[in-house]
Structure 1
Amino acid sequence: MTYRNAQRITASLPPNLATFIDEYQKQTGTSKSEIIALGLRALQEKLLAEQYAALAAENDPERALFLEGNVDGLEPSDGSEWL
């Protein structure tokens, strides 16, 4: 795949990752640039999913009840309804 406005970078990789890229390139015909872009997109998606999960946990209504101290969901009462 060719990218418009692509930015050239230089990267140093451990030998096992460099070998993996070479082997994957031979098997698939994918360019090294595209292989690295695929890996970065996967990392980007993983981080985004983690951030959404953290946001969902922060906005969990049950969690909000515990933070407010109203753990049973009942309204405060003076007990007069039992008299």
Structure 2
Amino acid sequence: MTNSVTRISATLPEELGVYLSSYQERHQLESRSAALAEAIRALRERELEQAYRELGEAQAAGLETYPVDNLDGLEQA
């Protein structure tokens, strides 16, 4: 199986660039791109956790809702 990639260019404030390089080094990642990919995965996970939390609250209140595009991974029952 081949992993496809998307090339992006990012301009960061110096402090974030330094942190990204430091994170890469501390976690022995092969590149800053790998560190950035981990950061994006963490953002996606945080949003998904929030969506599940909101769904649980809506279900508890009897107001079950789903996003219009349903792109967050939640499935309608």
In which range does the TM-score fall when normalised by the shorter chain? Answer: 0.5 to 0.7
Distance of 1:59 and 1:25 partners within structure 2: 40
Q: Describe the superposition over 1:20-70 as per-residue Cα deviations: whole angstroms up to 9, x where unpaired.
A: 11222333431111100100001100000000000111110xx33xxxxxx
TM-score (structure 2 length as normaliser): 0.68
Structure 2, unpaired ranges of 5+:
63-77
Q: 2: CA distance between counterparts of 1:52 and 1:39? A: 20
Q: Which residue of 2 aligns with 1:74?
A: none
- Higher alpha-carbon Rg: 1
Matched residue of 1:9: which SS?
A: coil
The Cα of 1:4 is off from its aligned counterpart by 2.4
Q: Assess, with a 3 A threshold, how the Cα gap between structure 1 residues 53 and 27 changes in structure 2: closer, same or farther.
A: closer
**TM-score normalised by the chain length of structure 1:** 0.64
Aligned length: 60
Alignment root-mean-square deviation, CA: 1.6
SS in 1 for 2:9: coil
More helix by share: 1
Partner of 1:56: 56
**Structure 2 residue aligned with 1:79:** none
Give 1:6 deviation, angstroms: 0.8
| Identity rate, percent | 30
